[in-house]
Amino acid sequence: MSDSTLSISSMSYEKKDDVRILTSCLSKWFSNPKILNFVSPSMSYPFKIKQWINQSYSNQNKTLVLKLDNWIIGHLSIRMNNQTKSAHIFHLIIDPEQQQKGYGKKLISHAEKLITKNNLKKITINVLINNQIAKKFYEKNGFIITKGNKSGKIKMSKDLEKL
C-alpha cells in the first residue's frame, strides 16, 4: 500500500457540500455512542449534524480533514483566539478502522504549524478523564495536564514558544 496518497485539507461547516460529506463520515464514525461521547460529551446519541454544528461551529472555527486516497479518515477543528494568542483544538477523530497508524499525530502536527503561522503561542484541549487513550496520545505529543474540573474533563495545553 505504499502508493497511497495522504493529504490534509480544510472544510467548512458553512458550505453545503462540505456538510454533506462531513455528515456521511461523522455519522458512520459516531454509530458507536461511546466514540461520540469521547469526542463530544455534550452531544446526545444518535448523532445529529445540526446539533453538532449549532453547538460547536457557530463562530469561525477551522476544520481540517485528513484524506487517504481522497477518502476522509480524520477530522480536527481549531478555534483560534488572537487576543489570548492561543488556539483550542477539539473534535479530533480518526476513523476507527484507521486508528493506531500515526494519522492523529499527522493532523495534530499540521494543526500546530497552522496555529504557529497565525502567531499563536499556546494550544489547549479538553479530554474526558476516563478517555485514557486520548490522554496518553496528547501527552506523547507534548501536551501537559493543566487542570482537571468537576465535569469529568481534563484541560491539557502545549506551549508553542518552546518548539
Give percent of the chain above pLDDT 70.
Answer: 96
Residues 118-159 have pLDDT tens digits of: 999 999 999 999 899 999 999 999 999 998 777 788 999 999
Give the pLDDT mean for 39-56: 94
What pLDDT score does 1 carry? 44
Which pLDDT score is estimated for 60?
75
pLDDT, residue 162, reads 65
Residue 127 carries which DSSP code?
Answer: E
Neighbours of 88 (CB within 10 A): 19
Amino acid at 143: F
Please name the residue ranges forming H helices in the chain: 16-29, 33-39, 49-56, 103-117, 132-140
Does residue 133 or residue 59 have the better pLDDT?
A: 133
For residues 55-86, b (16+ Cβ closer than 10 Å) or e, as one string?
ebbeeebbbbbbebeeebbbbbbbbbeeeeeb
Assigned C-alpha cell, 96: 476507527
pTM of the model: 0.92
Round to whole Å and give the CA distance between 127 and 116: 22
- Amino acid identity, position 34: K
